Chains A and B, each alone.
Chain A
Amino acid sequence: MSDDALPLRTLWMSDMPVDEDEMTSAIAQVLEKDRVARAKDRRIRLFGVLAMALLIPSLVWFAAHGVTPLVRGAYALMAIGCAVLLAAEWAYLEWSRQALPGPADARSQLQTTAFMLARQIRLLETAPLWSSPVFIGVGLIALWLYQERTHSAAFALCAVTLTAWIAAGLRAASASAKLNGQRLQMERLLNELQ
């Protein structure tokens, strides 16, 4: 490099050395952060496994033994919907994990992260569609209530289901917009690096 390199680099590296206690405290905080992140990851996985083990078999059982074909169809849809939800959750977490910064070169890392973000965005954008079996299933139960039980209970269940569906769609859209901002920023960085 040129002659001006030495004074600039000397100046750059003339910081005071790090305090040993400060370093030890930083290490302890990092290990704690790691422990908390792993515990959270374990909880999410445990929840997924429990849902798989309890919820889906119960829904399948109701789908097989429901009082009418309408109820059986409703529970079958809910079972399918739950399985799809779990698969989507698993894919989302997996893509988030793959987007974490690692030891690849900066360009490859930014490309990978932007690609994974694009996948997550697509998943979120289509959330109202792939979560529909659950809501349609509950809607069918509301229809059965309307036919066989009270109208008010049917209307209440329908209103709750619709609200939940709309809320889930809005939440996914908001999360998707946030991720899209990050993706655009990644692509800007990538362009600047090239």
Chain B
Amino acid sequence: MEEYSMPMQRLSAIYAGRAADREDLFQDIFLAVWRALPAFRGDASTRTWLYRIAHNVALTWRARDRRRQVREGPLQDEIDAGAEMNLRRLALKRAVAAMPPGDRTLILLWLEGLSAAEIEDVTGIRAATVAVRLSRARKALQPNEVTP
């Protein structure tokens, strides 16, 4: 799990804007993984298995509380720390967080280095569709990414 803690934290940061929510979401992901572990038979790769659980928790977590959807903009509390943070990375995170949920899920997985086939495994969307949607989402991302 430690190996995947950074990707899970990045994912939490995109779905939850506030630090307290991020921590909650990260813990919920960890808890879901912990509970699913006994049923893990190793017939899927550990990486895609973890991403499946993490994205399912994140999507459900956000959908379960309407207040989370209308809270202040994503990554609000990181803006103050922006001076010390790489501004381009922050801009990228904000651009990803502002995407529609479907595209955001795909682009998150792609940024984490998953192939279209692995993304199909995680999301259930066909690899060919994933490739088309990713191409469109990346185009939308580029101008935002360079402008903090």
Contacts and interface: CB of A to CB of B under 8 A. Distances in A.
Interface of A: 1-2, 4-5, 8-9, 11-15, 17-18, 23, 26-27, 29-31, 33-34, 100-110, 113, 181-182, 185-186, 189, 192-194
Contacts of A103: 36, 39-40, 44, 49, 52-53, 56
A193 B30 contact: no
Contacts of A107: 123-125
Q: Is the interface of B mostly helix, strand, loop or mixed?
A: helix
A4 B59 contact: no
A106 B124 contact: yes
Nearest to B9: A18
Nearest to A17: B6
Contacts, number: 131
A11 to B, nearest CB: 5
Interface in B12-40: 23, 26-27, 30-32, 34-36, 39-40
Nearest to A18: B5
Interface of B: 2, 5-6, 9-10, 23, 26-27, 30-32, 34-36, 39-40, 44, 49, 52-53, 55-57, 59-60, 63-64, 66, 69, 86, 88-89, 92, 100-103, 105, 110-113, 121-125, 134-135, 138, 141-142, 145
A127 to B, nearest CB: 21
Contact of A23 (B2, B44, B60, B89): B2
Contact of A12 (B39, B60, B111): B111
A192 B10 contact: no
